[in-house]
Amino acid sequence: MEHLTCANEQAKLCGNDVRPARFSGRYREETMSFLDDDRPTPKPKFAIDDDLSLLSLEELEERIAAFKAEIKRNEEDLERKRKSLSAADSVFKI
């Protein structure tokens, strides 16, 4: 016997999947979100091992700028994590 809530009825009318899910040993109805689908993730514009001989000067310059921006972002995140680790170490020092 299926017991549907108003939200589940609306989900069925909209074409969303309604499926049982296990929760605390009981089954409950759960609507499938659009975020749950299996869409392919977009391929990055640049990959490290791309064949550079096929790229124009402008494309190479764009690629270098994108990689420099990514390096800067990584360095900023690394510094943030180092500061966080240092703060945590100072709290737990004996």
For 44-74, what is each residue's pLDDT tens digit?
788 888 899 989 999 999 999 999 999 999 9
How far lies 22's CA from each of 16, 25, 26, 29, 33, in Å? Answer: 19, 6, 6, 9, 16
pLDDT the model gives residue 59: 94
Q: pLDDT for 3-27, tens place per residue? A: 545 555 555 555 555 454 444 445 4
**At a CB cut-off of 8 Å and minimum separation 6, what does 67 contact?**
46
Residue for token pair 């929760």: 23
> Token digits for 14?
């909209």
pLDDT the model gives residue 89: 86
pTM: 0.49
pLDDT the model gives residue 45: 80
